[in-house]
Amino acid sequence: MVNIRERIARRAEKEVQDGFFVNLGIGMPTLVANYISEDKDVVLQSENGLLGIGPYPLKENVDPDLINAGKETVTAIKGASYFSSAESFAMIRGGHIDLAILGAMEVAENGDLANWMIPGKMIKGMGGAMDLVHGAKKVVIIMEHVNKKGEPKILKNCTLPLTGKAVVNRIITDRAVIDVTENGLKLIEVMDGFTVEDIKNSTEPELIIAEELL
């Protein structure tokens, strides 16, 4: 049985186009690397200085010196290159990343993103998300639709400290795919096992419903 995280990661893979340079955020987004189609020529970039990340390694292939930005061991594809984090962030800030797939704690209806800290809880640092949301050509958020209490994570306004204002283009959850548009949030896909009403009831802002879902 496909678990929720795998289900979301598989759907997120559809956002990755042939020829793209892609940055996968810490946590669930890194799973997307395992599902990228062999038909696509894609280069994955990591803030800590690796261009050309491969899938997670098998136990016998683990290299403790080869890690991603989340300090997880990874593999490198043929032709991969290594460089300083300064060069890595120059790639991001210079607009050379076609797509960033990031996790989130909250997303607002105008595309505001909160994904780096919860006040009062210990954090390792802000990471590269604040640069990615402004440097990447497209920002896709993947997350569960509701929190552990069953409360919406897609809100009218974020309550947590922001990573960026009006930076999100698309939200993919275990329940739906929602685009951030000038007119508001637009529901474009409903995942198996859910209905349009389910999505509306678990999302705080009003949703524009795509014609094909009506």
Alpha-carbon distance of 100 to 58, in angstroms, equals 25
Reduced to 3 states (helix: H, G, I; strand: E, B; else coil), residue 8 is helix
Look at residues 206, 167, 204 and name the one whose alpha carbon lies nearest to residue 186: 206
Which positions ≥6 away from 147 have C-beta within 8 Å? 153
**Look-up of token digits 């014609």:** 211
Active site residues: 47
Other Cβ atoms closer than 10 A to 112? 19
Query: What Å distances lie between residue 88 and 26, 82, 94, 108, 111, CA to CA?
Result: 16, 9, 10, 29, 25
Alpha-carbon distance of 127 to 207, in angstroms, equals 31
Residue type for 184, please?
A: G
